[in-house]
Structure 1
Amino acid sequence: MSTGRGNIPEEVIEAVLRQHDIVDTVGKHVHLTKQGKYMKGLCPFHSEKTPSFTVTPERQIFHCYGCGKGGNAIKFRMEIEGLTFPEAVKMMAEEVHIPFDFGVGGGGESSRNPELEQLLQAYEWSAKLYHFLLKNTEHGKPAMDYLKSRGFTDRAIDTFQIGYAPARWDTLVQFLDKRSFDLGAMEKGGLLSSKHDGTGYVDRFRDRVIFPLHNRNGKVIAFAGRILGEGQPKYLNSPESRLFTKSRILYNLHQAKSEIRKTRQIVLFEGYGDVISAWEAGVHNGVATMGTALTDSHAAMMRGLADEAIVCYDGDQAGQAAALKSIPILETVGFTVKIAILTEGLDPDEFIQKYGAERFKLQVLDGAVSSVKFKLIYLKKNHILLEEAGKVAYIKDAMEVIAPLPSPTEREIYLKELAAELQVSFDSLKQECNEKRIAMQKKTPVGDNKDKRWNNGRHKKGQASMPTLLPAYHVAERRLLSFMLQDEEVARYVGDRLGDHFNIDDHAAIAAYLYAYYAQGKTPDASRFISSLQDERLEQTVTSIAMMDTPVWSDQELDDCIREIKKVPLTDEIKQKKEEMVAAERAGDFMRAAHIASEIIALERQ
């Protein structure tokens, strides 16, 4: 699978790797402890209790023996922040002031791609047109009146580049056509729609307030439109395109990311209206998903910037149910999760308009409760606590939340609150909790993390009860490649005697890449070599091989490995000849059988 490196020069990639030490890069997200020449920690990509995530400072690579992820500092940033290769390199270059003028599009592809460059240009100009029409024309006056009635200030309208698409069918069609944009490409990119009869194009957005959507680098890549007056659909987003993927875009991330990085906290809203109101109220670390539920990609992207997530969804039943669903997604990637409680069923925008900015920050955000506390509040609504049966049912449900908590202190705090709230004995609740834990432990399947069982089925490949014994030639190929990664002289020696005649296709490909790498005059450097590869599977294989402990090589050991590798095609050929000899004997062709027997003897001598 190509990793989409765009047109970034190799010297920029190498400078980025030199300036970003793997231990510093990983250490911002993983607590590492020194073990000999390695650093160990709990893997941030899957849940585990025993550290299998290993960093090798000497070779500037990481590798997890549990889930198999591995690579260099750039690869780590890609995985932890949900970035493409060009996005990660650009971000890392900017952080250490390395000049970077190779544009990156919304999907992380080089903006030297003419089609994407044209589409990005079209979105930027369209956003400016819509914003101008809102602020400076009679057409835009009803939309401006609507925004002012909703509490949007002129400053917010400018900050978020809010605009208006007129009710006409061809405002944008004419605007783009006059500027020689390919209208077919504009339709594919989500700005226009095809006419039903296929004779041309019409504006996709008509009589709507327009909210531009930006990628994390601040480029406009899509629009969200809210209809003025009556009509369906009330909200309309750009369709997904090469620039815009809903599961990878968060509204306002481009403006909020500096504050999020500074505070290590992110506030997650349901809609762009809430984000804008909160921004005006002084909350500058807020983002929202765009017309889709929170995804694993969103969570991974946010986790690269923050440690704590405050979920601030609508106060009605639907909003609170969505907040509940977000908890495991956020906790799985390692967030400390808090949930904001909004009274009277209000959404954040309504709360700010009604009670003001200070009360929103103090009561709603600062008063956000832990995920456990929220689950207990949510469960309580389903029971009538004035009745004994309701109390018993609530306690049973509450134990499902409290008993799995790994910390005895945390369990005790919640049990004491429950005892006081329901006026029941703390000791009886504690006993019930302990019984629940014993029952859970008996049911828990074997896995790498009993407290986070989501992982146990998902990562079975790291939990095999018996390690798979690799064939001798496979071990020899890995060992040889390990030596070759460390020493150019070994690569020359192997190249002369074996070339790319490895038995495993991936190993043959890695050897070919290594010969080419050294032919360019480069020195042994596992991290640098990994960046030269164009295939994710090969990257992981090289990372795994580079982590091997290999002693200083000798000619004898290299020859032993080469001999083991060369034996495989001979052994296969001998096996095939023996089958042919048996077939000749059965057919009564003893002359042929004798001839094949002499060939087998010659092969066995080799």
Structure 2
Amino acid sequence: MAGRIPQSFIDDLLARINIIDVLDGRVQKLKRAGKNYSGLCPFHKEKTPSFSANQEKQFYYCFGCGAGGNAISFLMEYENLNFPEAVEELAKAAGMEVPKDDNPQQREKEQQLKKLYDLLAEAAQFYEDQLKGHNTRQDAVTYLQTRGLTGQAAKAFSIGFAPSGWDNILKHLSKSDTDQKLLEEAGLLIHNEDRDSHYDRFRNRIMFPIRDQRGRTIGFGGRVLGDDKPKYLNSPETPTFHKSRELYGLYEARKHSNKLERLIIVEGYMDVVGLAQFGIHYAVATLGTATTAQHLERLFKLVPEVIFCFDGDNAGREAAMRALKTTLPVIEDGKEARFLLLPDGEDPDSLVRQEGTLAFTERLDSALPLSEFFFNSHSEQADLNSMDGRARFSTEVLPAINSMKPSLLQQMMLDRICELTNLSLEQIQTTVNFHESVQTHTPAPAVVSEYDYSEAPSYEESQPYNYADYSSEDHSFEGHGYENTQFKSGKKQHHRPRSNSSELSFEQKLIALLLHYPQLASEYQFPEALKSDTDANSQLLAQLVAYYKQNPTASLGQLVVDWREDETLSQTIVELYEISTSLEITSEEVARAYLQDAQHGLSLKALEQEISLLQKKHSLSKEEKIKLVQSMQQLNQLKTTSKT
């Protein structure tokens, strides 16, 4: 398909397609439950339905794994399709023909990517043929046989061989200067600038094709047969290959079963292949990098459990500690991360061959939960019998636990610290100045000596206005039909909303309001001072207001499609919409009044931030001093208005 699909066509397509028809046959036990439909989520293993779809709004959401979107995003995830392919599939079902918007730049980019994918597929076939061919060096076959690899396993992962020599792939695939540039862009050739020549990146190596979720070859990993360095060589970053996001073996694992219960993260390609050969088809490996948050977020969308399986040597332990540090901010209730360190000198491939599938699976079943591994690792060298040792231990572990998302697991780990140290949480926090690391320090007022403040308004003894006074849990907007809707604010929040509407932040409730009544965005003025606010929810609110002012009739489905490139953002929007149905806003009139009160509150917050910034300065210009006084006056006026 050439060019960009017109937005008008996408809107028309979503209006004609019934999402329930798309889900039927793909979602098990799908049945009506009140206004919605519920069923077993196809994107993670579950026994109790947590997948919900709304026929009226034409969107779906899973409360178990967080998957959500419209009919297009469902097909993309379920069928491993890209956006244009999913649109084509739905268009066929609706009897529509997808128009092709003439966009030369986009068309050229898509054609370039297609050439790269085709070239990488040809290279993968070339390497595979070299391993199976009569002219294959015997040491390549001998190496694989020594590692116990069967021909069936090699075929399942399309393992190949890059022969010795400087220009094998160059000669086989390059017919012009343009082909050379494409091969270089695909990471298969290296350009020697001094000689202005190209040579093969992979030489005398066992080749492991790396595939994306659709099975397309996007890069390679090569294991050297001789003593050359490095031992393992991966493709560089290319338009098709991004090692911080991709995982070796994930396509093969999902191909073997679309009902995965867990995934194992191992260190090497041969570990993945070896485990699969022994019937353990749910192992993946990172690609020359440590496990990233992007890796984990992707895996936790597929399965509820991830097991890190590392060698038992020092390098393996260090890798496990890095993985632990990365996992803590990502893990949330309903997901589980566990850690398995193998006996020293063993790796998953060697151990499963030595003790068999059953024994290795039993090791996986007994892997340490994240919390147990965390405390075991940190308490090994700690002297918990002395106050100094307990203080050092607490100082080490508290920041790590503080990095976690608010959850039951986090609270239980805090309780565990208290058990290990025989101290209360308050005592521990005092010992390590924990409060100072998580609370905003109130700055001293700026020194102002060149301006007469005798007529300046009283400002609560020169202290910054506390926005929480306006938006505390005890305050509710009364008189507009939503007395039970309370606002909370003050904490910096992640994009991801919490589990119910009573826990939504002040900004998140405004976002939810606009999702239900987007036409009100034209009446809303986002405070200028908050546009530079680094709070994620403030940024999302500003972005949503700007979007609806440009697209006043946009539906939720169109919004999800337009923001599809930011998966976290789209998911947040859908989840906020679903959770916010419990807000007691029954009409546009009520929503408008609600919005006016909310805008008043945000204006207070903006002024408070402006005053705080001025007060942080050691000295102020004359203009800044005047601005400070004026801001204080405006703030007092707004506070008086809010009280009346």
Bin of the TM-score, shorter chain as denominator length: 0.5 to 0.7
Once the two structures are TM-superposed, the CA of residue 390 in structure 1 deviates from its matched residue by: 9.6
Once the two structures are TM-superposed, the CA of residue 324 in structure 1 deviates from its matched residue by: 2.5
Once the two structures are TM-superposed, the CA of residue 287 in structure 1 deviates from its matched residue by: 0.8
Once the two structures are TM-superposed, the CA of residue 142 in structure 1 deviates from its matched residue by: 1.4
Q: Which amino acid aligns with 1:286?
A: A
Identity of aligned residues (%): 24
* CA contact 2:69–2:570 (8 Å) conserved in 1: no
Residue aligned with 1:248, SS: coil
Partner of 1:551: 587
Q: 1:461 to 1:91 in 2, by over 3 A?
A: closer
Partner of 1:229: 226
Distance 2:301 2:138 in 1: 41
Distance 2:376 2:569 in 1: 49
1:187 to 184, 187, 196: 184
Distance 1:98 1:258 in 2: 28
Partner of 1:371: 370
2:557 counterpart of 1:527: yes
Partner of 2:350: 350
Partner of 1:583: none
Once the two structures are TM-superposed, the CA of residue 185 in structure 1 deviates from its matched residue by: 1.6
Partner of 1:18: 19
2:96 counterpart of 1:121: no
Once the two structures are TM-superposed, the CA of residue 458 in structure 1 deviates from its matched residue by: 6.1
Distance 2:285 2:413 in 1: 32
Partner of 1:205: 202
Distance 2:543 2:387 in 1: 64
Residue segments in structure 1 that go unaligned for 5+ positions in a row: 40-53, 64-68, 103-108, 416-428, 449-454, 469-474, 486-503, 518-524, 562-606
Deviations 1:534-589 (A, max 9, x none): 997998999889979472679xx99xx9xxxxxxxxxxxxxxxxxxxxxxxxxxxx
Distance 1:26 1:446 in 2: 45
Once the two structures are TM-superposed, the CA of residue 214 in structure 1 deviates from its matched residue by: 0.4
Deviations 1:33-73 (A, max 9, x none): 99x99x9xxxxxxxxxxxxxx9988545699xxxxx99944
Once the two structures are TM-superposed, the CA of residue 507 in structure 1 deviates from its matched residue by: 6.0
Once the two structures are TM-superposed, the CA of residue 281 in structure 1 deviates from its matched residue by: 1.5
2:344 counterpart of 1:314: no
Distance 2:492 2:547 in 1: 32
Partner of 1:435: 424
Once the two structures are TM-superposed, the CA of residue 177 in structure 1 deviates from its matched residue by: 2.0
Distance 1:219 1:282 in 2: 24
| CA-based RMSD | 5.9
Residue aligned with 1:197, SS: coil
Q: Which amino acid aligns with 1:339?
A: F
Q: Which amino acid aligns with 1:443?
A: F
Residue aligned with 2:302, SS: coil
Q: 1:57 to 1:550 in 2, by over 3 A?
A: farther
Once the two structures are TM-superposed, the CA of residue 352 in structure 1 deviates from its matched residue by: 2.1
Q: Superposition pairs for residues 76-155 of structure 1, below 5 Å?
A: 86=82, 90=86, 113-155=110-152
Once the two structures are TM-superposed, the CA of residue 398 in structure 1 deviates from its matched residue by: 8.8
Partner of 1:323: 320
Q: Point out which structure has higher relative CO (alpha carbons under 8 A, 6+ apart).
A: 1
Residue segments in structure 2 that go unaligned for 5+ positions in a row: 39-51, 99-105, 402-406, 441-467, 469-489, 508-512, 524-541, 597-644
Whichever of the two has the greater Rg, that structure is: 1
Partner of 1:578: none
Once the two structures are TM-superposed, the CA of residue 433 in structure 1 deviates from its matched residue by: 3.7
TM-score normalised according to structure 2 size: 0.57
Q: Which amino acid aligns with 1:330?
A: T
Partner of 1:286: 283
Distance 2:515 2:259 in 1: 47
Partner of 1:481: 519
* CA contact 2:266–2:285 (8 Å) conserved in 1: yes
* CA contact 1:513–1:533 (8 Å) conserved in 2: no
Q: Which amino acid aligns with 1:277?
A: G
Once the two structures are TM-superposed, the CA of residue 225 in structure 1 deviates from its matched residue by: 0.9
Give the helix-richer structure, 1 or 2. 1
* CA contact 1:71–1:530 (8 Å) conserved in 2: no
Deviations 1:340-368 (A, max 9, x none): 13123422122223333332122x21221
Q: Which amino acid aligns with 1:146?
A: Y
* CA contact 2:497–2:504 (8 Å) conserved in 1: no
Deviations 1:236-288 (A, max 9, x none): 11111110001110101111125665242111111211111111121111111
* CA contact 2:53–2:59 (8 Å) conserved in 1: yes
Q: Which amino acid aligns with 2:157?
A: F
Q: 1:533 to 1:257 in 2, by over 3 A?
A: closer
Aligned pairs, number: 468
* CA contact 2:371–2:413 (8 Å) conserved in 1: no
Q: 1:431 to 1:350 in 2, by over 3 A?
A: closer
* CA contact 1:482–1:545 (8 Å) conserved in 2: no
Distance 2:120 2:170 in 1: 13
Q: 1:123 to 1:342 in 2, by over 3 A?
A: same
Q: Which amino acid aligns with 2:434?
A: K
* CA contact 1:240–1:246 (8 Å) conserved in 2: yes
* CA contact 2:394–2:428 (8 Å) conserved in 1: no
Residue aligned with 1:173, SS: helix
Q: 1:140 to 1:90 in 2, by over 3 A?
A: farther
TM-score normalised according to structure 1 size: 0.60
* CA contact 1:483–1:553 (8 Å) conserved in 2: no
Q: 1:476 to 1:506 in 2, by over 3 A?
A: closer
Residue aligned with 1:247, SS: coil
